[in-house]
Amino acid sequence: MRAASESPLRIVLADDHPIFLIGLRAVLERDERLTIVGEANSPEALAELLRQCACDVLVTDFMMPAAPHADGLRLIEQVRRHYPALPIVVVTMLNNAGLFHAILELGVMGLLSKASLADELPQAIRHVRQRRRYVAHAIRQALNLGGDDRVHSLDALSPRELEVIRLLAGGLTVGEIAAHLHRSKQTVSAQKVSAMRKLGLNNDAALFIYVQEHGLA
């Protein structure tokens, strides 16, 4: 039962396929702590909906081909630019590691395969509620970032580097971490780069998955 003081998490859904909107709704409506406050079937409809409707999480398809000049990355960039505090969970049928990297590096909080929505969407929403990122198992496999031969131990990090990584895992930006720790952005950025080098991670997408798989997120 939901605590009386806890408000439902308000979710907006976006997908150009009615059957997938029905599926998303069916999965999310099982949880009384969630409420769907709006649905959109195109980037234009989504933009209008976000202007009119307050929400806590956006769950969106990556590609909506019904829209002219559909571009999933551009859609995410636009939402991030206009609503930087809004967590985004992206769902996709695509299986392209390079594209997964690009999506994650835009700062989305969740990345899911449509093939596993029923199992993993509730997990993703739980992570987002706690300001933690979630990447679907199949996508982690596609990115091939989980091997011990590629990733080194957290023991290699200095206390300050580990502190920065933990805060990044919590969803803070470099600028927010700098303000929180009373360090310069340049110092925090250097500590992030140093930590990633020691962990054998080449980009932010790898970092997001690493912190999830090692219990930091």
Q: Which residue has the higher pLDDT, 141 or 34?
A: 34
How many other CB atoms sit within 10 Å of the CB of residue 19?
8
Query: What is the pTM for the complete model shown?
Result: 0.68
CB 134 within 8 A of CB 212: yes
Q: Which CATH architecture has domain 159-214?
A: Orthogonal Bundle (1.10)
**CATH for the stretch 9-143:** 3.40.50.2300
pLDDT confidence of residue 64? 77
Would you say the C-alpha torsion 27, 30, 32, 36 has a positive or negative sign? positive
Which tens digit of pLDDT belongs to each residue from 145-180? 544 444 456 778 888 998 898 888 777 888 999 999
The rounded distance, in Å, linking the Cα atoms of 163 and 123 is 25
Residue 39 clears pLDDT 60, i.e. is over it: yes
The rounded distance, in Å, linking the Cα atoms of 149 and 53 is 46
CB 206 within 8 A of CB 195: no
Listed by start position, the domains of the chain span 9-143, 159-214
β-pairing, 34-40 with 9-14?
A: parallel
Mean pLDDT of the chain: 84
pLDDT confidence of residue 151? 43
